[in-house]
Amino acid sequence: MQPWKRNTSVRALVALVAAVVGPGLMTVGVAGVAGASESASTKAAVAQATKELIVLKDLPKGWTSSKSSNNNSTIPGATELATCLGVPTSVINDNPPTANSPEFDSANQLMTVTDSIAVSPSLKSAKADYNSLANKKTPGCLSTVLNGVTKASLASEFGSGASIGTIDVTRSPNAEFAGHGANFTAFLPVTVQEQTLNVQLTIIDYLKGTENETVTLTSIESPFPTTLAKHLTTLAVDRF
């Protein structure tokens, strides 16, 4: 399997897993604005947020940027995840107006980075979004949902005959990222045409007022470099 084919599947995987997570994470894709209809003040806030996102020059030499489709559809698992977390399904399906970076890809196309800032209509809504990720139940609930009703949808993103082993979701040490955020890391062993790919997906979320910034880091076979993760999240928080 060629690297670019692996990466194409991982793009879809990132969008799908992010959609399961919900708040502020449902729009992984092209730079711009996505979400519900906006007031003039919200449009201004999203326009400002766009200027605060990670850009290509923040990445190491050899990385490239590309457009990718936003994925805002409701998928299997939202209801189950909400029930497990003890929150309304509306929190998981929340889709506030969002500024999105392009997708950034490493030279070997085995690592990707995206950044987004969601502008919620209220402090309460933004905090509910953040808390759904920071909730101590989140890793366990995500493991249950991703290994249950969502697994077939995940496997289908890799083509006919693909399968996914046991998905493990855990917290990464806070020291690996800029402080005052919430994160989880999902480990997915994906088998395609008798070749197993070990995919690692890390999502880090930061809350500031009515805005949630989400940095998504994906790697295949090797862990995402801790120094680069700390560098990128530090830049994101400093601009946020």
Interval 52-109: pLDDT, tens: 999 999 999 999 998 865 554 556 788 888 899 888 888 877 778 888 999 999 998 8
Specify the pLDDT at position 202: 93
Tokens of 23: 């708040």
Pairwise CA distance, residues 27 & 101, whole Å: 10
Query: Shortest CA distance to 86 belongs to which of 128, 33, 146?
Result: 128
Structural domain spans, the chain: 3-239
Region 26-39: mean pLDDT is 43
Collect all residues with Cβ–Cβ distance below 8 Å to 26 and sequence separation of at least 6: 18, 19, 71, 72, 94, 95, 98
Q: pTM here?
A: 0.85
What digits encode the pLDDT tens for the residues 59-74?
999 999 988 655 545 5
Closest to 190 (Cα-Cα) out of 216, 220, 169: 220
